[in-house]
Structure 1
Amino acid sequence: MTGSPSGIVSRVPLPRRPRLRAGLPVVQRRTNEIQIGLDARHAVIATDLPPILVDVLRGLDGRRSTDTLLSLVRGEHADRLKAMLWSLAQRGLVEDAEGSAHRSGLPVSPSGIAPDSAARRSFGVHGGGRLGAAVTALLAGAGVARLCLAADGVVGKSDVGSGFHDDDVGRDRTSALANVARRLHPDVRIGRLRPGSASTELVILTDAVVPAPEVVTDLVAWGVPHLVARVRDGIGIVGPLVVPGRSSCLRCADLHRAGRDSCWPRIAGQLAGRYQEADITSVYGTAALAVGQAARALSVTLGTPSAQPPPTWNATLELDCVTGVVTRREWPPHPRCQCGAPQRRAGH
């Protein structure tokens, strides 16, 4: 099997009911050769296959167990099929359908990070505007096992369009977010976001250009990794990813901004915790980028061996949906910040 990606993750268990990840086509190249996936960064080619293995690999839909598949190919091909299933699982191209009828929608990573592990994790979302609703919808639609939610106020008319419905207007934002999630994933476990809860492994802070200081303080105090997502003047901004004590924090970014603009602290005080209205195009683009980066961030926050720091490590990604340009802007640890990151090398 060819097409080995860089940075293959550490050994993963063989899936009980293997299922190809969403959006991965299986195409036949020759009579005895198939290709799984189309992107050269992670697509694989299996050659010299007997007809029975071609049929089995094209039919990985999660309805049959690995044991059943191995029995179908008989002893002479069983070892090869087992090795191929394990290799596909290593690349994150196959997920385990055991115990979940919901196909994971988290993106396949060309870096070799297995995204189905993210679908078993717990994400938090703090923010209940258009962006928070879109992020919640994407996480739920991706099959995330647990969502912890927190938002202030009630849903307004301007929030409708990215997950909230007209009948959500006037409803408590946190409850409305839970409804957004359950509409897409009825089995998702919903909880209230509490920074001290060990069940929340990464929190996405949405909608506010400047997140509420008290929320950020709690997340840092409890050592909870968090990723900021917001839309500013039609530009979607995702990052930085804050892993307390390891990467630059939001205070680092504020200190850099204050160094460039002495009025920034006063401006930030006026924006802190205030939801920013945003156009629907920027909302959807920013939400998709944020969820993709959140899934990628788990490789670092969970300590996956050899995982490379994601693009939002000590940086933000700025998305302009009109020009189609994504700009990466660095926000290194600030020497005057006491967060602990300045004494460490990025990714360590």
Structure 2
Amino acid sequence: MHPVVKPALRRGWRDLNTVQFGMTPAHALTVGPVDTATGSFLDLLDGTRGVELLREEARRMDLPDGHVDRLVRRLSRAGLLDDSRGGGPAGEALREKPEVLERLRPDLASLALTTSEPGDPLRRLAARRSTRVQVRGAGRVGAAVAALLSGAGVGEVEVRDVGRVEPWDVTPGGLPAEAVGDRREDAARRAVRRAAPGRSPRRAARSPLDEGDPGFSLVILAPRDDVAVHAPDPAAAETLLSSGTPHLYAGVVEGTGVAGPLVLPGETSCAGCLQQDRVDRDPAWPRLVAQWRSGRQRRVGACDLTLATTVAGLTAAHALAFLDGRVPSTAGARWEVSLPGLNWHARPVWPHPDCPCGAAGRDQENRPGEDPEKR
């Protein structure tokens, strides 16, 4: 192990014997008592020395035997240490690509804030390169989500859509102006390649993927059609549910941005649960949706550029949290933000007992004694 105090956390002395690591309440920690000699020794925990060399340095500083080991254990238990040589074989392979790692250095520092075990930040960053994500929809939201995930180190990002790029699809970080008139899928794939910090690990050849391919770590549904954003069709995700593929909804509808729900098949609520709940609450809902979907006129929906970019950023962040092994707050909820107030609201999507997805049964197992009628 080559210990390094997590560089993402700024360090400051609260008093002569207390050190604060980090500035923000979400991640700041205080450690004390810390004497002056130990405080000076912290500067040596920069990842360039192994534990044995650190012990030699401690002896030169007249620190007592065992002091280094106790300090390393103490800081490690507090989640303040990383291992500059950690990350396993995948981490070592990533270190051998310095041009890629330099691009991802801020992402690595961010992962260090949310992991506790030394070596975990690089291990998780390297693991992203083995994940496969499909984005369905290459409009203002979908194309930006795909580029963001690629830029954050996701190994393979596939984009599905039809038609050609329109002038109003162009966004910074998404589809460029020179792509107008090109096939959407082709333009989005080029954006993904431009954003990638390096070539993803080479994969074996395979046949074209169908929509329910269980090999996807995650599928993101970001339709350009605002009705599909507001009232996602459960049929569009049937193959994802049957194959057990996690999927996340996102989009913009009439000046309202939506991220979620993240559907973990059989565990969390799905588009069918959302539809059933709306029918329960509003008997006119099916009639309204049928009218909205039947409109054939060519129209450009209200999709504010900054709102679409905000939704894309939040969606990509929740997708990365899931890919990194966490369950983000979009699991079982839709986050919504509307112009002009721009206040985010989480709207729960409860598993519905009449939905065939099976999440309601799992939900009751996890919430014994709760009456679903009270939700």
Q: Give your verdict on TM over 0.5.
A: yes
Could you tell me which amino acid in structure 2 is paired with residue 204 of structure 1? I
Q: Equivalents in 2 of 1:249, 1:201: separation in Å?
A: 17
- Residue 73 of structure 1: aligned partner: 54
Gaps of 5+ in 2: 57-65, 96-100, 367-375
- Residue 201 of structure 1: aligned partner: 217
Q: Equivalents in 2 of 1:197, 1:43: separation in Å?
A: 42
- Residue 133 of structure 1: aligned partner: 143
Q: Could you tell me whether the CA contact under 8 Å between 2:27 and 2:113 is conserved in 1?
A: yes
Higher-helix-fraction structure: 2
Shift of 1:328: 1.3
Q: 1:323 aligns with which of 321, 336, 341?
A: 341
Q: Could you tell me whether the CA contact under 8 Å between 2:219 and 2:247 is conserved in 1?
A: yes
Q: Equivalents in 2 of 1:271, 1:312: separation in Å?
A: 30
- Residue 171 of structure 2: aligned partner: 161
* Identity between Structure 1 and Structure 2 (%): 30
Q: Compare CA radii of gyration and give the structure with the larger one.
A: 2
Could you tell me which amino acid in structure 1 is paired with residue 51 of structure 2? L
Per the alignment, in what secondary structure is the counterpart of residue 263 of structure 1? helix
Q: Taking CA–CA contacts closer than 8 Å with sequence separation of 6 or more, which of the two structures ends up with the larger relative contact order?
A: 1
- Per the alignment, do residues 218 and 174 of structure 1 end up closer, same or farther by CA in structure 2, a change over 3 Å counting? same
Output one character per residue of 1:243-279: Cα deviation in whole Å (capped at 9) or x when no partner. 111111101112222341242440463489x995621
Q: Equivalents in 1 of 2:9, 2:237: separation in Å?
A: 42
Q: Equivalents in 2 of 1:228, 1:251: separation in Å?
A: 13
Residues 262-281 of structure 1 mapped to structure 2, 5 A cutoff: 262-267=286-291, 269-270=293-294, 278-281=303-306
- Residue 30 of structure 2: aligned partner: 45
Residues 236-251 of structure 1 mapped to structure 2, 5 A cutoff: 236-251=257-272
Q: Equivalents in 1 of 2:178, 2:257: separation in Å?
A: 27
Shift of 1:311: 2.3
Q: Equivalents in 1 of 2:191, 2:3: separation in Å?
A: 29
- Residue 4 of structure 1: aligned partner: none
Q: Could you tell me whether the CA contact under 8 Å between 2:6 and 2:80 is conserved in 1?
A: no
Q: 2:73 aligns with which of 64, 83, 91?
A: 83
Q: Equivalents in 2 of 1:178, 1:88: separation in Å?
A: 42
Shift of 1:223: 0.8
Shift of 1:79: 2.5
Per the alignment, in what secondary structure is the counterpart of residue 189 of structure 1? coil
Q: Equivalents in 2 of 1:246, 1:220: separation in Å?
A: 11
Per the alignment, in what secondary structure is the counterpart of residue 141 of structure 2? helix
Q: Equivalents in 1 of 2:247, 2:291: separation in Å?
A: 23
Shift of 1:281: 0.9
Shift of 1:215: 4.1
- Residue 120 of structure 1: aligned partner: 127
Deviates more, 1:236-245 or 1:27-36: 27-36
Shift of 1:77: 5.2
- Residue 254 of structure 1: aligned partner: 275
Q: Could you tell me whether the CA contact under 8 Å between 2:75 and 2:81 is conserved in 1?
A: no
- Per the alignment, do residues 188 and 252 of structure 1 end up closer, same or farther by CA in structure 2, a change over 3 Å counting? farther
Q: Equivalents in 1 of 2:82, 2:5: separation in Å?
A: 11
- Per the alignment, do residues 324 and 155 of structure 1 end up closer, same or farther by CA in structure 2, a change over 3 Å counting? same
Q: Equivalents in 1 of 2:276, 2:83: separation in Å?
A: 42
Q: Equivalents in 2 of 1:34, 1:267: separation in Å?
A: 63
Per the alignment, in what secondary structure is the counterpart of residue 257 of structure 1? helix
